Structure 1
């Protein structure tokens, strides 16, 4: 199986996220802002002396102005892609796909959907009277399918090659790929700033905007047709996407609440490439050897929606 990560890289990424969150919390809560406590109903206001340390005031503020929620999270991908592109066909591949680079008509690539568990940590921004908050979405790594689309699912990519003695084409016997090409894991850090127009009502709708880093790793090509003569390599680029958010909190007794949340993720292009492809042709390979395709690529216009229903608590 092809792997594109190392324990050192993953540890560095997680440490970086932790440092970023810590810096964000400290940056939001200055000594003056730390006086701006607004405990939730039922909480006791913190009595803070002017001699209290900056670190102590920061912890007091976070303790009385943060919240968390946890529940099922559904990832639905509906982006589009360019046609699959054979980058540089040579030899038998040039006979099947055409020499050099060529597009495969009525094809594309996509990603599968996923249901998982998601959690959100939120912190009200000081001096905004709880109208503004910063939220971080946390979820376990998503293992998603990397898929082909349209005709690439049911029709062979190279049905014929060469020419017979009388000019007729020769069937390659290469089967269709099917939908799933492989899989990858995604660990997308997600930061949004949320605005609540009403903060003292039982139902509190909100709107938000932010960014998501489309970090993917642990790619694996597991398609039987592509793996027959050795496993190719799957590469996915890692852009930053924009996030739009809508949701509402439904307050319950004892600082608890229910939440419904929808996030749109877009404004990003993900470049995908499967390289090192060698295909066995039942009719041609016994005589001419395997079809050395090389690499096939596509550019995906990334668009996805994250749906969640969760239970939360104000701390």
Structure 2
């Protein structure tokens, strides 16, 4: 009788914990993310030495792919793009939003999955990102104040770190939550006729994500 009960418990345990990700598996996740800049701005030089800038948050979808080299080690490619408004601070605070831009930061991390066969599957990752800025534009408040102005932002190459977990709900489908820190530094150039102003900004966002994934 005791042997029968133990066997039944073992079978039940196997049935209630969906299959683990294994070497050669591909995980595809769709997350909703909040990109929250942790910016540190220098002055807007040479015209506004007492002015700085701030960058607002953005909420967007994110798609990522994780390939498992072993049962515990995987590599994740993170793909998302987000719109951000830039506001004046200090001497430029009265102008409010002065520019906007789209940010595309493809990020590749190497992950370690601690318990790939458990019901709760935490992981950590570290890697690199290449951030591309595009569709930069000056806001009307800035052009009204100083004249027609073009805006450009330098691309960035930096590091990234993450911590997250998967919770399987079937053999192939799972829930996911994830937090990343991405090192993003740029120089914004504001060109108004012959006058060129620049401002160095460390954006360094935290990226909070939650979503669903599928194992292939």
TM range (shorter): 0.7 to 0.9
In structure 1, distance between residues paired with 2:20 and 2:37: 41
1:228 CA drift (Å): 6.4
What are the superposed Cα offsets for residues 186-211 of structure 1, whole Å, 9 maximum, x if unpaired? 12111111101221111011100111
**Ranges in structure 1 where 5+ consecutive residues have no aligned partner:** 1-39, 46-60, 87-96, 98-102, 155-176, 278-291
1:137 CA drift (Å): 1.1
What are the superposed Cα offsets for residues 10-62 of structure 1, whole Å, 9 maximum, x if unpaired? xxxxxxxxxxxxxxxxxxxxxxxxxxxxxx8399x9xxxxxxxxxxxxxxx85
CA contact (8 A) 1:244 1:265 kept: yes
1:242 aligns with 2:159: yes
CA contact (8 A) 1:42 1:255 kept: no
Corresponding residue of 1:193: 110
Q: What TM-score results when the alignment is normalised by the length of structure 2? A: 0.83
**Ranges in structure 2 where 5+ consecutive residues have no aligned partner:** 1-17
1:211 aligns with 2:128: yes
Aligned CA distance change for structure 1 residues 118 and 42 (closer, same or farther; 3 Å): closer
1:218 CA drift (Å): 1.4
| Larger of the two Rg values belongs to structure | 1
Bigger strand share? 2
CA RMSD of aligned residues (A): 2.3
In structure 2, distance between residues paired with 1:209 and 1:190: 10
Residue aligned with 1:84, SS: coil
Match of 1:144 among 70, 74, 84: 84
Corresponding residue of 1:131: 72
Q: What TM-score results when the alignment is normalised by the length of structure 1? A: 0.58
Bigger helix share? 1
CA contact (8 A) 1:185 1:219 kept: yes
In structure 2, distance between residues paired with 1:78 and 1:229: 28
Aligned CA distance change for structure 1 residues 67 and 225 (closer, same or farther; 3 Å): closer
Q: How does 1:139-288 map to 2 (within 5 A)?
A: 139=80, 141-154=81-94, 177=95, 179-227=96-144, 230-266=147-183, 268-276=184-192
Aligned CA distance change for structure 1 residues 42 and 298 (closer, same or farther; 3 Å): closer
1:224 CA drift (Å): 3.0
Match of 1:113 among 39, 54, 57: 57
